[in-house]
Structure 1
């Protein structure tokens, strides 16, 4: 007799990403983080449990950017993502997220996960602890004990505080939808409450706590992001891909390298725009995933690729599901050419490649060298490019979560 699998109820989630990032110094949710914008990592983390509807609450001016980054995130096919506009306060933003859920067919949803967009490394074990405490109260929140000594400072004076029994509250917070909506409607000023637990408790709701995760840190300062990148590196395996491409010079074509037009009397021969740098980069990226090469993905026999911009091809590579599961960390490129002189183009190529790969400029290195007048490259007949890309591969548990 075939075993009957237990029914797993679908979930909804609201990710709040409408803050100003003042202390971070720039928009932390859009900053490159482990090879992707930080918000991508957060969305992927929340979807480690069976979330089907996800609302991303963002600043109205960021909607176009967020739509692009949602498409870049490696989310399971079951997840439907909707965008909502953030308000002046967290409470207003969450309420807008709830309205968007209802407007998009989630009127019968009993529970919702509410999570900070700046907590990108919430683990599946924590999410499962939250779900296991369903129906024990009106909201389930993760907490961690405060281990540091505490003092309150005011007007130059300090007061020692007793830390016994004191805990720090994290997200996601798993809320009963009806209770959360009622709390918003019945509270005179929901902006006074820093999170959903405080709001629900203020209106008589029952708060249940579960063990949190010390690594589930909210990115607030630049140093936080660097520390969490180290955490991700420890959780995932490192993979390396190698790419090599070569083209001969021809007249009558522009010279394009690394997505940058180079001043030159000669271009490179090829089916596409013959951008040897991007071709080597694409092969290296595909190598990280064991996904073949660009010859197999974009065959020269297919007329649609004649003269095509290689940045478009790279976009297709980066959108491939096998690649989206990776977190690209760095790219190291060496261009071997006797002519033309490329020194002035190294930094523009570095910046362009960083944008295309979702990395910081410091994570991309572009080197230029000659061939000591040896062989056809040494005679100035063409260009060769070598590239090494390093990426992080998710753990087995994380790969299962996105199937």
Structure 2
């Protein structure tokens, strides 16, 4: 089903220490999580309501995505939603979502769209599980009956035109805290569907730690392998795993021929299913002539981060008779750790020989194989 969406991201985030919509969460800006989820679920347009002057931040956080546009919000949430509504297609259902709820699933979106085929409005909600107390200045005044009490989440979904008409008739001088209240006041029926505990709202600084843990807990672990070979040629040094190693020969290649980083780059790309090093840096392109291979590995790292993923561990094995790698191994591990922003104990570099067999045994070149372990959001 086609639908429009409004992502409300115009808040100041004072309780969380600043505008939370632009903060990073597991490698992605908070706002990007929701916009990506809505676009992947089939939104024909996503209106992102932002504070005045934040256009550049929105462009940066949502770079590479199409199907969205920014609208400057108002002083109150309701003002921001109204401005977003003025930009959506009136003949489509509309979902209104808080950018501060980043862990939105496609299943929740589809369940909401099915609900508003039958009722004017719907929202995910969780039943209240804790005992509720009324109190003033810390003094308990009584216990509140929690039966039939629900915690409303977002997105809140509305059949075509329902929310627009409800806002047109809104007479209350107080600003509504959510859009369901506007439809309720207009006499519309609202349906609650099962909510998602992971669809938490980032309100306080500690909420980010909990969200990070939830993302890690539902991550998919991927493993990629890479293999590369370069022949010896003229020269007095070679590059291995980002470290220049003196030798009687150089390595022949279009770039700096760093066989270790090339294999590792392919391993990272393989873990995310994004081709190989030649797809991203074709040897036919003169701009990569003599290029430093740390650029290739950094590019693969950035692709993982852009998907909200995390490189967990990498392992490189260099296969050669000469040069001896052992004295350079720690420097190689540190260089890879620096490029990938990993702790040193998450990087392994080893070396072995082929006992004089094959082209490496004849000292005609060097081979390398690598493995990368990557966690991606589910």
TM-score normalised by the chain length of structure 1: 0.68
For 1:190 and 1:245, how far apart are their aligned partners in 2? 69
The answer on whether the counterparts of 2:49 and 2:72 sit within 8 Å (CA) in structure 1 is yes
- 1:129 and 2:121 aligned: no
> How much does 1:342 deviate?
8.0
Using the TM superposition, give the Cα deviation of residue 94 of structure 1 relative to its aligned residue in structure 2, in angstroms: 1.9
Alpha-carbon offset, residue 165 of structure 1: 0.7
* Separation (CA, whole Å) in 1 of partners of 2:181 and 2:167: 11
Aligned residues: 357
Match of 1:222 among 208, 230, 245: 208
Query: Which residue is equivalent to 2:41?
Result: 49
2:137 to 152, 155, 166: 155
Residue segments in structure 1 that go unaligned for 5+ positions in a row: 1-7, 74-78, 355-360, 395-403
Q: Which TM-score applies when normalising by structure 2? A: 0.72
Match of 1:232 in 2: 218
2:157 and 2:69 map into 1 onto residues whose CA distance is 19
Deviation of the 1:198 alpha carbon: 1.5
Q: Quick one: which of 178, 184, 190 aligns to 1:207? A: 190
Note the C-alpha offset of 1:174. Answer: 0.6
Distance 1:202 1:43 in 2: 29
* Secondary structure class of the residue paired with 1:47: helix
- Distance of 1:28 and 1:275 partners within structure 2: 41
Q: Does residue 303 of the first structure (1) align with residue 295 of the second (2)? A: no
Aligned equivalents of 1:51 and 1:352: distance in 2? Answer: 37
Q: Report the CA distance between 1:66 and its aligned residue.
A: 3.1
Structure 2 vs 1, CA of residues 52 and 318 (structure 1 numbering), >3 Å: closer, same or farther?
Answer: farther
Q: Are residues 1:81 and 2:77 paired? A: no
Partners of 1:131 and 1:302 in 2: CA distance = 47
Q: Does 1:198 align with 2:205?
A: no
Alignment correspondent of 2:322: none
Q: Summarize deviations over 1:243-297 as a string: whole Å, max 9, x none.
A: 46688899899x9987xxx999999975346677764553122211444421354
Within a 5 Å distance, the mapping from 1:35-46 to structure 2 comes to: 35-46=27-38
Q: How far 1:142 moved relative to its partner? A: 1.7
Q: Could you give the per-residue CA deviations for residues 39-66 of structure 1, whole angstroms, max 9, x where no partner exists?
A: 3332232235331111222334543343
* Structure 2: unaligned runs, 5 residues or longer: 319-324
C-alpha separation between the residues in 1 aligned to 2:6 and 2:54?
A: 17
> Structure 1: how far apart are the matches of 2:236 and 2:18?
44
Partner of 1:97: 84
Pick one of 217, 220, 224 that aligns with 1:241.
224
CA contact under 8 A between 1:41 and 1:120: conserved in structure 2?
Answer: yes
SS at match of 2:62: helix
Partner of 1:287: 270
Structure 2 match to 1:181:
164
